[in-house]
A = this chain, B = another copy of it.
Amino acid sequence: VKSKVVGVVGGMGPAATVEFLARLVRATPAEREEEHLHILIDSDPAIPSRTEAILRGGPSPASRLCSIARGLERAGAQLLAMPCNTAHAYLAPMRAAVEIPILDMVAETAARVDAGPVGLLATEAAVRAELYGKAFASRGIRVLPLCPDDQAEVCQLIASVKSGEQLEALRPRLRRIVERLERDGARAVVIGCTEISLLHDSGSRLLAIDALDGLVEATVREARRGDR
């Protein structure tokens, strides 16, 4: 039995897709080149904005996401991963569009949290769509809301990462938000946006659960399920 061919619905944003691939290669138990996973990636930065669609009624990305998923399936993918938390608002139509499984980054990540309350660093759209809210509510874990200023700051940081700003200069701004979450009683913080995964460093004492790592682990696990 060989590992499954992994398809990646990417480009949201491009740097986050690259970081996902980098962590996936590092996390794959492989001593030789051919033991790595076969990965097909469609990194399409022109997928309509998830944030615009959810917050301001902009064009929905659903049909483009479904078409990318079908294209990857047609090209031979046997399992799909999508390194963008907010795009998981469209997971249901995507799953209906293909025969192959699509990993749920939000569910995989929420399952890694043992106890609340948790802080959540995510787009305003992901918060509004209650992606993590629902996943945690079903397990009785409370999410501490960010104050409006901090949520706006998180959105600005995400935009800055997407526009290619230097990460080092942005990190102190994220650190201050994490410190406030810790003072407010958070037991952990969920890095629920792939751009924030690029930005977060492990300098804080607060336990960080990174959704990008959750997706990486799930991808390796499911791709190799049944391997011998």
Contact = CB atoms under 8 A, between A and B. Distances in A.
A40 B38 contact: no
A100 interface: no
Contact of A41 (B13, B30, B43, B164): B43
A179 interface: no
Contacts of A74: 75
A32 interface: yes
Contacts of A42: 40, 75
Interface residues of A, number: 37
B13 A36 contact: yes
Interface stretch (A21-29, A112-120, A181-189): A21-29
A31 B75 contact: no
Contacts of A76: 71
A25 B11 CA distance: 10
A96 interface: no
Given A18-B25, A22-B22, A34 B38 contact: no
Contacts of A12: 33
A46 interface: yes
A74 to B, nearest CB: 8
Interface in A144-181: 162-164
B31 A163 contact: yes
Contacts of A214: none
Contacts of A71: 75-76
A107 interface: no
A77 to B, nearest CB: 10
A78 to B, nearest CB: 14
Given A14-B28, A30-B45, A74-B75, 15 more contacts: A14-B25, A14-B33, A14-B39, A15-B25, A18-B22, A26-B164, A30-B164, A31-B163, A31-B164, A33-B49, A36-B45, A37-B45, A38-B45, A39-B41, A40-B42
20 contacts: A11-B33, A11-B36, A12-B33, A14-B39, A15-B22, A17-B21, A18-B21, A18-B22, A21-B21, A22-B22, A26-B164, A30-B163, A30-B164, A32-B162, A33-B45, A33-B162, A34-B46, A38-B43, A38-B44, A40-B43
